[in-house]
């Protein structure tokens, strides 16, 4: 097994690092403080391919692997986890449309989304269906060549500021097999948006509820076959869990970089903090956890790229471990800054706030444990998991 990145991967990572340093880092604090959704940054990132990283090349995407895409997302998140996370959400929704959409839908929307000219939101969660997503209630009743959507979605990133909504709605009976995925233009009559939620973090992307009141959408906008939506959603979430785990590692790397610099600059009791062995040990533990999390993500991404039968389990493992470890590293880095880490003059408190929600979304870490344990207890679970 080769753990070294090849020249092309290193080049993608460097491109993302340069973009993050020039176009995200100088503005991240302002976007956070003023709750600015940086559309121009997304469009500029789109010009570099960051809005269609793993979407098919036929629709203007780069067609990268999930492993290669993770390298890009990590670099973006090291500067601004909130904005990087929306890049990942847009990529997931765009990939779904470009993979399962009908040819006419792909022709109309594919390149507009992969280029970043227009943006997409992913709509699965509902007020009464978070972890239990298979019991969602939003309905899509068929009337001739249209679906009529009624219901609501909750906690939707980008809602009210994006152009396309990938909506999971019930077209059939109760349970997972009655759910279909539908691409819904965000400005259709009957769509209403709730208030912009006040959040602990992720302030560079708006979060709102969405209400559908007799919204008419062409049947041609369905992704895949009727009843295939939940399977598409779960495929999206496998990659989404890698993506959000990667954002945690990126945030942790940014925090660790800040802590390393601070320990060398700050003096107490007549010597630099970096000379105190207790603090050296804490720094060493942070780096070790970060490397372990990164390698687990890359293992899971490799499994997903290879179509491994247990890819979902490895994605759940990576998401659980990396989001917990990433938050812990951010918290330790803030502690090493002392009182200064609590001030908004330093990036630590923003990195910490942005990283906290990663333990909740794309499936809570408690649900990740359910997924892992369920697979371990199956009769055909491989020895490597069991």
Residues forming beta bridges with residue 165, ordered by sequence position: 121, 184
Helix (H, G, I), strand (E, B) or coil at 351: helix
Scanning the structure block, which residue is given the tokens 């708006």? 206
Q: Given 3-state DSSP classes, what are the helix, strand and coil percentages for the chain, each rounded to the nearest 5? A: 55, 15, 30
Q: Is the dihedral of CA 269, 273, 275, 277 positive or negative?
A: positive
CA distance 113 to 91: 9
- Cα angle value 377/381/386 (rounded, 5°): 65
Residue 126 annotated as catalytic: no
Residues forming beta bridges with residue 192, ordered by sequence position: 211
Query: What is the DSSP secondary-structure string of 83-150?
Result: HHHHHHHHHHHHHHHHHHS-HHHHHHHHHHHHTTSS-EEEE--BTTBSS-GGG---EEEEETTEEEEE
CA distance 57 to 225: 23
| Residue in 8, 226, 362, 366 annotated catalytic | 362
Answer for the pair 272, 296: CB distance below 8 angstroms, yes or no.
Answer: no
Which positions are annotated as active-site residues? 362
């Amino acid at each position: 097994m080769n753990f070294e990145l090849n020249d092309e991967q290193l080049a993608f990572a460097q491109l993302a690092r340069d973009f993050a340093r020039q176009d995200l880092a100088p503005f991240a604090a302002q976007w956070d403080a003023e709750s600015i959704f940086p559309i121009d940054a997304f469009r500029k990132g789109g010009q570099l391919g960051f809005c269609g990283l793993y979407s098919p090349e036929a629709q203007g995407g780069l067609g990268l692997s999930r492993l290669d895409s993770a390298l890009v997302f990590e670099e973006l998140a090291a500067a601004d986890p909130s904005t990087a996370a929306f890049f990942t959400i847009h990529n997931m929704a765009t990939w779904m449309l470009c993979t399962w959409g009908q040819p006419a839908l792909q022709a109309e929307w594919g390149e507009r989304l992969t280029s970043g000219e227009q943006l997409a939101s992913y709509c699965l969660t509902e007020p009464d269906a978070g972890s239990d997503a298979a019991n969602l209630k939003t309905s899509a009743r068929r009337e001739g060549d249209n679906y009529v959507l009624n219901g609501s979605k909750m906690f939707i990133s980008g809602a009210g500021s994006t152009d396309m909504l990938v909506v999971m709605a019930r077209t059939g009976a109760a349970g997972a097999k009655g759910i279909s995925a539908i691409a819904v233009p965000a400005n259709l009559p009957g769509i209403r948006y709730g208030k912009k939620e006040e959040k602990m973090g992720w302030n560079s992307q708006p979060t709102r509820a969405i209400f559908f009141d007799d919204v008419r959408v062409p049947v041609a906008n369905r992704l895949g076959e009727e009843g295939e939506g939940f399977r598409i959603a779960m495929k999206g979430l496998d990659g989404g869990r890698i993506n959000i785990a990667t954002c945690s590692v990126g945030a942790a790397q940014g925090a660790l970089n800040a802590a390393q610099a601070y320990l060398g600059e700050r003096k107490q009791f007549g010597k630099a903090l970096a000379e105190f062995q207790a603090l050296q040990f804490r720094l060493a533990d942070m780096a070790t956890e970060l490397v372990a999390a990164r390698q687990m993500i890359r293992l899971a991404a490799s499994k997903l790229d290879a179509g491994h039968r247990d890819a979902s389990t490895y994605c759940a493992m990576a998401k659980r471990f990396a989001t917990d470890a990433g938050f812990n590293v951010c918290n330790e880095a803030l502690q090493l800054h002392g009182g200064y880490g609590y001030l908004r003059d330093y990036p630590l408190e923003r990195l910490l706030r942005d990283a906290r929600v990663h333990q909740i979304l794309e499936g809570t870490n408690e649900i990740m444990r359910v997924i892992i344990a369920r697979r371990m207890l199956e009769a055909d679970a491989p020895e490597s998991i069991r």
